[in-house]
Structure 1
Amino acid sequence: MEMPVSGIANSWDETKEVFKKHDIPVGSNKALKEHLQDKELDLLISDLNKTIGSSEVTCIKGG
């Protein structure tokens, strides 16, 4: 949630489509939590994790 959107998109190219789906610009230097909150943020993180094949096992909380 702390990593900027652009950092995520540059690290995992496949996440760009997820950001577009959620109307978040892939070049944004803002953290995920600055774009969405609560259930919308949880849904975005879930979509991103599914896209990159990640889970809480491989990600630190607050990421």
Structure 2
Amino acid sequence: MVIQPNMASKAIAEVWKETVEVFQKYNVPITEKALQVLVTENTIKILLTELNKVVGSSTATCIEGG
């Protein structure tokens, strides 16, 4: 699964504990709000790249619909 901007930081951190450090680095609160609400458009791209790298996920590891 690829971490996406519509996901909540709390849900991401619960599944992937290693993402907490990335959230702290970017001062993103662990909350039920979607990432796209919590950070700017410029930051979201960098944040998503780093989060997905930490969890070892990318669009190449996922198939459409699942």
Question: TM-score surpassing 0.5?
Answer: yes
Which runs of no fewer than 5 residues in structure 1 stay unpaired? none
Distance 2:15 2:56 in 1: 14
Q: Kindly tell me: are residues 59 and 20 of structure 1, through their superposed partners in 2, closer, same or farther at Cα, counting changes over 3 Å?
A: farther
Q: Provide runs of 4+ in structure 1 moved above 4 Å.
A: none
What is the aligned counterpart of 2:23 among 12, 19, 23? 19
| Normalised TM-score (structure 1) | 0.83
In the alignment, what sits opposite 2:7? 3
Residue-pair matches, total: 59
Q: What's the CA shift for 1:39?
A: 1.8
Which runs of no fewer than 5 residues in structure 2 stay unpaired? none
What is the aligned-residue RMSD (CA, Å)?
1.5
1:1-63 pair list within 5 angstroms: 1-26=5-30, 28-58=31-61
- Higher alpha-carbon Rg: 2
| Normalised TM-score (structure 2) | 0.80
